[in-house]
Amino acid sequence: METQIKRNAYEVVVVGGGTAGLTAALILGRSRRSVLVVDAGEPRNAPAAHMHGFPSRDGMPPAEFLAEVRREVTGYGVELVRDRVTAAEPDGDGEFEVTLEGGGRVHARRLIVATGLVDELPDIPGIAERWGADVIHCPFCHGYEFRDQPVGVLYRKAAGIHQAVLFSALSSDVTLFLDGTDEDELPDEHWQTLAVAGVAVVSGKVDGIEVTDDRLTGVHLEGGRVFPRSVLVVPPVMSPRDTLLTSLGARTKDTPAGPFVDVDPTGQTSVPGIWAVGNATGPAEQVVNAASAGYRAGVALHAQLLQSDLDREAERRRAGVFSPEGERAVARARAAV
Ligand SMILES: Cc1cc2nc3c(=O)[nH]c(=O)nc-3n(C[C@H](O)[C@H](O)[C@H](O)COP(=O)(O)OP(=O)(O)OC[C@H]3O[C@@H](n4cnc5c(N)ncnc54)[C@H](O)[C@@H]3O)c2cc1C
């Protein structure tokens, strides 16, 4: 990926080059928009060796998948740069000045923020090192690979119960570790759900995991007890990378995972000219959903730019002023019909 920006102004700057941002860029590139994608290169699923649940790409390494999308996107003239956007400021005319960590500064008519989220893991020794391998969070992404095996689930309020129940459909040997939570804190209906689902419950604080030959083999409790397990399911605390959006005044909404930026079905935020897509807008945006959100935002943003150019030109014509760029916009609209 490039490290230098080629121009000082783009119709669209996409912040974040994971699946969501790149898919938006793909549609905008195919619509012949000038697009810059700035990507810091830390996609959320990077720790996993394989990606699942994306039709036709099931099992593909995530890095290979993104490299392929980048190849497709640049084929349509989209520019990709490895850098980090540190600020975006309104220019007073409904557009934006974007600052990059590497020192670059570009003008953008519109912004798409596709910065993803950060998974905050519990401070238990060994968990971070095994994240994405045999410490996992998503039954749909990696659960099948552990079917019929001894599964451990870390209790994190309702999220822990939810995960234990989902994994009980994949294995008949699921144990929920309360990890220091008092048994009495679990509501009666949770105990009933766990019993019906056949989930075992273990009290005590988890203080580590056992790893043998580069595989998770057990969950370690304070006091020395070890429970043999092949996988530990950990519901992370998910924090959207939304500083850019909130600093520009984007409204947030409450979700069970905490506040996320509020977007309409096309990804438009409450701030005119700014779209947000993918995991930056919600915890359930798996790769295929992130791609879909990027696609919808690309379509909507292109149509909105087109309309705004046409409106501006119609205004000019009403005022008796003609311009070559206006003629181009009109001709473009004609071709798009
Ligand atoms: C361990 C693990 C395994 C997973 N496995 C699967 C799976 O098998 N199947 C599946 O469907 N989903 C899986 N997921 C979920 C998947 O990671 C997300 O669905 C997907 O990454 C969301 O795409 P995104 O484009 O929204 O965000 P990301 O892929 O996280 O991309 C965001 C990008 O924006 C960049 N960025 C952030 N801030 C800035 C900034 N200020 N300037 C420039 N760039 C910035 C980041 O560096 C990153 O490259 C998994 C998640 C985890 C944690």
- DSSP of 93-143, one letter per residue? SS-EEEEETTS-EEEEEEEEE---EEEEPPS-TTHHHHBTTTEE--IIIII
pLDDT band, residue 329 (cuts 50/70/90):
confident
**The pTM is what?**
0.93
Q: Ligand 1 centroid vs 64 CA: distance in angstroms?
A: 14
pLDDT band, residue 246 (cuts 50/70/90):
very high
The per-residue pLDDT for 189 is: 95
Distance, CA of 21 to CA of 100 (rounded, Å): 17
Instruction: Give all strands (DSSP E) within the chain, no chain letters.
Output: 9-15, 35-39, 79-82, 85-90, 96-100, 105-113, 117-120, 135-136, 151-154, 174-177, 200-202, 206-212, 215-221, 226-228, 231-233, 237-240, 252-255, 258-261, 274-276
Q: Whose CA is nearest to atom 27 of ligand 1?
A: 116
Task: Note whether 77 and 85 are within 8 A (CB).
Answer: no
Domains along the chain with CATH numbers: 9-119+237-332 (3.50.50.60), 122-233 (3.50.50.60)
Over residues 206-243, the pLDDT tens digits come to 999 999 999 999 999 999 999 999 999 999 999 999 99
Q: Which residue has the tokens 């923020």?
A: 113
* Whether the CB of 283 sits within 6 Å of ligand 1: no
Pocket test of ligand 1: the residue of 22, 45, 106 to mutate, having most ligand atoms within 8 Å of its CB, is 45
Pocket test of ligand 1: the residue of 115, 232, 248 to mutate, having most ligand atoms within 8 Å of its CB, is 115
- C-alpha triplet 80, 83, 87: angle, nearest 5°: 110
Longest dimension (CA), the chain: 84
Task: Note whether 65 and 52 are within 8 A (CB).
Answer: no
Q: Which atom of ligand 1 is nearest to the CA of 132?
A: 1
Q: Ligand 1 centroid vs 314 CA: distance in angstroms?
A: 41
Residue 162 tokens, joined? 């939810």
Q: Whose CA is nearest to atom 34 of ligand 1?
A: 16
Over residues 85-96, the pLDDT tens digits come to 999 999 999 999
For the chain, how big is the Rg over CA atoms in Å? 24
Task: Note whether 240 and 280 are within 8 A (CB).
Answer: yes
Over residues 249-303, the pLDDT tens digits come to 999 999 989 999 999 999 999 999 999 999 999 999 999 999 999 999 999 999 9
Pairing relationship of beta strands 215-221 and 206-212 according to DSSP bridges: antiparallel
**Burial class for 320, CB neighbours closer than 10 Å (0-12, 13-18, 19+):** exposed
* Whether the CB of 185 sits within 6 Å of ligand 1: no
* Whether the CB of 148 sits within 6 Å of ligand 1: no
pLDDT reading at 144 higher than 80:
yes
pLDDT band, residue 107 (cuts 50/70/90):
very high
Q: Ligand 1 centroid vs 17 CA: distance in angstroms?
A: 9
Q: What percent of the chain has pLDDT over 70?
A: 99
Mean local confidence (pLDDT), 21-28: 98
Please name which of 251, 246, 247, 248 lies closest in space to residue 263, comparing C-alpha atoms. Answer: 251
Mean pLDDT (the chain) is: 95
The per-residue pLDDT for 5 is: 86
The per-residue pLDDT for 200 is: 98
Q: What percent of the chain has pLDDT over 90?
A: 89
* Whether the CB of 23 sits within 6 Å of ligand 1: no
Residue 314 tokens, joined? 């119609």
Q: Whose CA is nearest to atom 26 of ligand 1?
A: 278
The per-residue pLDDT for 315 is: 87
Pocket test of ligand 1: the residue of 286, 288, 289, 295 to mutate, having most ligand atoms within 8 Å of its CB, is 286
Name the residue with higher pLDDT: 331 or 292: 292
Output the DSSP codes for 134-173: TEE--IIIIIGGGTTS-EEEE-BHHHHHHHHHHHHTT-S-
Q: Ligand 1 centroid vs 29 CA: distance in angstroms?
A: 21
* Whether the CB of 17 sits within 6 Å of ligand 1: yes
DSSP three-state, residue 269: coil
Over residues 301-310, the pLDDT tens digits come to 999 999 999 9
Over residues 160-214, the pLDDT tens digits come to 999 999 999 999 999 999 999 999 999 999 999 999 999 999 999 999 999 999 9
Pairing relationship of beta strands 135-136 and 231-233 according to DSSP bridges: parallel
The per-residue pLDDT for 337 is: 61
Q: Whose CA is nearest to atom 8 of ligand 1?
A: 51
Over residues 57-67, the pLDDT tens digits come to 999 999 999 99
